[in-house]
Structure 1
Amino acid sequence: MSERHPRKRAAFEPIAAPVVRDSAMRRPAATVAGGVLVLLRAVAGIVWTLTVVFPLPPWLQAVAGAADGSGEESTLTLSDLGLDAGIFFGVLGAITLVQAVFGILLLRGSNVARVIVMIVSTMSIATAFAGWWELGQEITVGTTLVTVSLDILVLLALSSRDAAAYARRNERR
């Protein structure tokens, strides 16, 4: 009864072969893509901050209005948000700095940074979904479409086997 059929696999055994760890492994494209996407997310935050602080030119407002499907020229200012400029810049500056640091750590092969970025990306996607589902928030180019799409791409890149193997290449077994 304790015999196992040689062709059967245990339910908890992974289907794919285990990844071989190699400390001399070259940085895979998935890790580079994930790190660059996190850095692009930081840049997108800076661009969004600039659009809140400085009004867009009329031609760009028309393009942004057409891109989100509303046909309106809408601008968001600090007074609309009800925030002090110092607090606004401080919080967004800190977020941008943290994203840039995590992007650099990803490129250097940090597994902790990889896992944290994947968790934050998952939470960001879930938050955007909950806002759409429960609160009726629109997902447009002007709101969360760019961040959600970058988060999805980051998750796809960093959850690959190559990215995991590269991030875990120096771990002891």
Structure 2
Amino acid sequence: MTEPRKRPAYESPRDLVAPLSAPSRMPRPLATTAGAGLVLLRVMAGVLWLWSLVGDWGSVLRDTVDDIGVVSITPDVEQAALAIVVAVVGVTLVLDLTLAIFIYRGHNWPRVIVMIVSTLSISAAFLHWWTGDQDIRMSTTLLTLGLDVLVLLALSSRDAAAYARRPRR
């Protein structure tokens, strides 16, 4: 019986960006479907986070204002700040949802963008933990951190890369 060929621990960048020989009618690999599904889970986690933030907005804003040192906030300013936060997070979630759809359809550019954003998110969580600013707990960043790691694993697989970079008809 022959041993399966193992991937080396290090591959040169030239080998990693070399064109892959995948047929144009390649079936969608499980890694691509899982990656798009994990991005959708990340969107749902963002919606749940936004929902809980809106429900507790008054105390979150007061805590933030107390940390900064501002004396008081009017209800109009509180509502305006909430509207800005909801708009920014909402646009981000819609963009993430759009990227998930394009990943599922087999495009390479959204796969790369999502992997870069996941890498930056993981790095930011590590730096916040390292400097002591934030603990990694289930109630804070553990869920999103886990999803980002799983997204990276799924979308960086050889099958997902071959499917996204396959020649189109």
Bin for the TM-score computed over the shorter chain? 0.7 to 0.9
What is the TM-score with the length of structure 2 in the denominator?
Answer: 0.75
What is the TM-score with the length of structure 1 in the denominator?
Answer: 0.74
Matched, 1:45 2:46: yes
1:72-151 matches, cutoff 5 A: 77-81=60-64, 84-151=81-148
Contact 1:53–1:78, Cα closer than 8 Å, also in 2: no
Distance in 1 separating the partners of 2:59 and 2:141: 14
Backbone CA RMSD of aligned residues: 2.5
Contact 2:43–2:96, Cα closer than 8 Å, also in 1: yes
**1:4-29 per-position Cα deviation (integer Å, ceiling 9, x unaligned):** xxxxxxx9585xxx842211001000
The structure showing larger relative contact order (alpha-carbon pairs under 8 Å, at least 6 residues apart) is 2
Distance in 1 separating the partners of 2:23 and 2:95: 29
Identity rate of aligned residues, in percent? 49
The CA deviation at 1:136 is 3.8
Gaps of at least 5 residues in structure 1 are: 1-10, 56-74
Contact 1:52–1:78, Cα closer than 8 Å, also in 2: no
- After TM superposition, what 4+ stretches of structure 1 lie above 3 angstroms from structure 2? 11-14, 75-83
Distance in 2 separating the partners of 1:90 and 1:80: 21
Contact 1:121–1:154, Cα closer than 8 Å, also in 2: yes
Change (3 A) 1:53 1:78: farther
